[in-house]
């Protein structure tokens, strides 16, 4: 009954709040969506300005189009086409790596169209229609995925600039009523604000729902670490060249975990996995390692950052961090939960694939177990391991 009431409340909310957290959690997908739409808008801009330039190249009497010939024509149409071409080139090759310019370019594109509309309407044909202005004010909130306050600010500036120009340039024209144009612009502003806000919320919420599904699919429920599926996905990306290469791969195993489960029960074992997951996540944040649950009580860590680090020191610090949790195990020789670990460094082992990389780290892990557990071993070569 309560759930039904909450759903009804959501249905009657005409202006749902788009919180900062939604933008933060879905930043990459929002940037990708904006880049795709920006590229499409830039392509349309190229086609529009080139088409107008070609029309003016074959005729000299086209109403409602300014600057019919000469250098002014080239500046008015070819330079905007070149600007749109640069934006399209950026979207195609650099937007993924340098996404900070996506929104500035998007707003600049709308400003470019707005300036063209202003020159066309107020200088070339003051008695013409205001369709381009209406299109800019109406479409911008629907197209751009950005914070509401910023979109509203830009629209208010556009609206104020139009009202000023309309009064300044058309006030002296006999028989021209500016009231209809201003009313139409205000209506488009209101429609753009209300409809655009709802559409933006729906689009961002769809991205959020997709993100949640992906997180649930790729996250282990007990440890809240990325799972085995996510691990192999990242390894394939690294070895295919789609992501940074793996410099170090470590494999850790909780010592005598089966005996712990048999002694204290599986709920207690699940609690251990939960604490270990938190410990590993903290370790990853400090050292740059990406930790995954490989299966059961086994975990794998990847180091892919451009800078180097002391892998031996990092591995020892993780073992010490787990010992520092002081999770009681009630074994006379090892009173607390510990881990054994093996790791392999790509620069020394030169693995040909991620399967071989895992196998080498696994070999070092078994050597750590053979030496009594509760330690970490680096893979060097068969029969020669480093403590």
Q: Tell me which residues are annotated as active site.
A: 297
Closest residue by Cα to residue 166 from 157, 179, 155, 153: 179
Q: Which residue has the tokens 């029309």?
A: 55
Q: Partners of 377 in the beta sheet?
A: 342
What is the per-residue DSSP string for 306-353? SS---HHHHHHHHHHHHHHT--B---SS--B--EEEEEEEHHHH--SS
Please, how many CA atoms are within 13 Å of residue 22, restricted to the half-sphere of its CB?
Answer: 19
| Cα separation, 1 vs 298, whole angstroms | 43
d(CA 303, CA 290) in angstroms, rounded, equals 6
Q: What is the largest CA-CA distance in the chain?
A: 102
Who's near 349: CB < 8 A, 6+ residues apart? 357, 360, 379, 380
CA distance 381 to 360: 9
The dihedral over CA atoms of 22, 23, 28, 30, expressed in degrees to the nearest 10, equals: 100
Q: What are residue 299's phi and psi, to 5 degrees?
A: -135, 155
10 Å CB burial of residue 343 (0-12, 13-18, 19+) is buried
CA atoms within 13 A on the CB side of 322: 28
Q: State whether residue 227 is helix, strand or coil.
A: coil
């Amino acid at each position: 009954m309560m759930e039904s009431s909450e759903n009804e409340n959501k249905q009657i909310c005409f202006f749902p709040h788009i919180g900062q957290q939604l933008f933060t959690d879905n930043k990459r997908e929002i940037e990708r969506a904006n880049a795709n739409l920006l590229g499409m808008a830039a392509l349309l801009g190229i086609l529009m300005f080139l088409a107008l330039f070609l029309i003016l190249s074959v005729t000299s009497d086209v109403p409602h189009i300014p600057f019919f010939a000469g250098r002014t024509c080239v500046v008015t149409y070819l330079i905007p086409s070149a600007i749109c071409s640069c934006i399209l080139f950026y979207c195609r090759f650099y937007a993924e790596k340098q996404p900070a310019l996506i929104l500035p370019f998007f707003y600049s594109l709308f400003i470019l169209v707005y300036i063209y509309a202003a020159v066309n309407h107020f200088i070339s044909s003051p008695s013409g229609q205001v369709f381009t202005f209406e299109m800019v004010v109406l479409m911008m909130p629907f197209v751009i995925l950005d914070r509401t306050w910023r979109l509203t600010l830009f629209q208010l500036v556009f609206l104020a600039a139009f009202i000023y120009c309309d009064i300044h340039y058309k006030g002296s024209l006999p028989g021209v009523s500016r009231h209809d144009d201003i009313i139409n612009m205000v209506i488009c502003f209101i429609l753009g604000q209300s409809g655009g806000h709802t559409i933006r919320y729906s689009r961002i919420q769809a991205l959020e729902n997709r993100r949640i599904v992906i997180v649930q699919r790729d996250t282990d429920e007990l440890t809240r670490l990325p799972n085995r599926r996510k691990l192999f996905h990242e390894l394939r990306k690294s070895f295919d060249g789609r992501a940074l290469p793996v410099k170090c791969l470590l494999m850790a195993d909780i010592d005598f975990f089966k005996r712990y489960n048999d002694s204290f029960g599986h709920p207690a074992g699940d609690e251990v996995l939960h604490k270990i997951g938190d410990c590993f996540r903290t370790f990853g944040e400090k050292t740059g390692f990406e930790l995954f649950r490989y299966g059961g009580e086994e975990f794998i860590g990847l180091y892919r950052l451009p800078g180097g680090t002391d892998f031996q020191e990092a591995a020892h610090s993780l073992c010490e961090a787990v010992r520092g949790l002081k999770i009681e195990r009630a074994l006379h020789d090892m009173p607390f939960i510990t881990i054994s670990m093996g790791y392999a460094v790509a620069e020394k082992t030169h693995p040909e694939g991620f399967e071989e990389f895992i196998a080498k780290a696994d070999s070092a892990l078994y050597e750590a177990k053979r030496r009594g557990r509760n330690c970490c071993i680096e893979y060097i070569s068969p029969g020669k391991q480093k403590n």
